[in-house]
Amino acid sequence: MIDISGVTKHFDDVHALAEINLDIGTGEFVSIVGPSGCGKSTLLRIIAGLVSTHGRVVKPDKGAFVFQDSALLPWRNVQKNIELLMELELIPKAERVEKARSALSQVGLTGFEKNYPHQLSGGMKMRLSLARSLVLNPDYLLMDEPLSAVDELTREVLQEEIYALWKKDKFTAILVTHNVPEAVYLSNRVVIMSPRPGSITHIVDIPFKNRNQKLRSSNKYHKLINDISGKLRS
């Protein structure tokens, strides 16, 4: 469970976040949508403990953050990038190698261990970044527009992969995205924010049990997308 209460943020004279209150259940998948500048990244960074705040965030110990630009180290190959966080945790070499092997196979990167980030496509970089975060079995995963740099088709494939990983590993997920269909497809709840100062205007429950291609073409899916897009515009 992640409990956000009374969280506010000022950057000098910019009132980035008004009071934010939000409870996220263990294992829940919540997406945050809202116009540019409404404070989504700031809220995510506050949850991660990377930005200070007045207010309170209660969360489990082990978390991971996936950044928009994938944040890989260009001088480390795929194998060394995926071992990075495990090295920081002083996990022994043999265990690192085994965990890396399993995580790379999960995201379809087996065989690319010796490649460097500049030799990977945008989708592959994002897979590597996801695998690197999940290899430590975090209790919660924060994702800031992880798929914004990939094409539409790759985006759907990666959504399926994120969904499968979440189903399997049962971490609590918070996803910031500009893509309303993506938020509806992946989430249990979609949080809608408005700017100046950033605040939560609506929280929409997503009732779907399963995610698949059939859902993407269903009326109930498109109705929710229209509903949320309408709320975003108002």
Q: Considering beta carbons, is residue 41 or 194 the nearer one to Mg ion?
A: 41
Q: What, of ligand ATP, Mg ion, none, does residue 81 touch, CB below 5 to 8 Å by kind?
A: none
Q: In whole angstroms, how close is the CB of 212 to Mg ion at the nearest point?
A: 29
Alpha-carbon dihedral 221, 23, 49, 179, rounded to 10 degrees: 10
User: Long-range CB contacts (< 8 A, 24+ apart) of 72-77?
Assistant: 72/117, 72/125, 72/128, 72/129, 72/132, 73/117, 74/116, 74/117, 74/118, 75/116, 76/116, 76/117, 77/113, 77/114, 77/115, 77/116
The answer to whether 133 contacts Mg ion (rule: CB under 5 A) is: no
Question: According to the binding rule CB under 6 A, does residue 106 interact with ligand ATP?
Answer: no
Which of 41, 77, 177, 179 is in the footprint of Mg ion by CB under 5 A? 41
CB-nearer residue toward Mg ion: 81 or 177: 177
Binding segment for ligand ATP (CB under 6 A), chosen from 30-38, 56-64, 199-207, 223-231, is: 30-38
Check residue 58 for interaction with ligand ATP (CB under 6 A). Answer: no
Q: Which does 50 bind (CB under 5 to 8 A by kind): Mg ion, ligand ATP, none?
A: none
Residue among 2, 28, 33, 41 that touches ligand ATP (CB under 6 A): 41
Should residue 38 be labelled a site residue for ligand ATP when binding is judged by CB under 6 A? yes
Binding residues for Mg ion, total number by CB under 5 A = 1
Residue nearest Mg ion by beta-carbon distance: 41
DSSP string, 116-172: -GGGS-HHHHHHHHHHHHHTT--SEEEEESTTTTS-HHHHHHHHHHHHHHHHHH--E
Closest among 93, 12, 23, 109 to 58, alpha carbons compared: 23
Q: Where on the chain is the footprint of ligand ATP (CB under 6 A)? A: 11, 14, 16, 34, 36-42
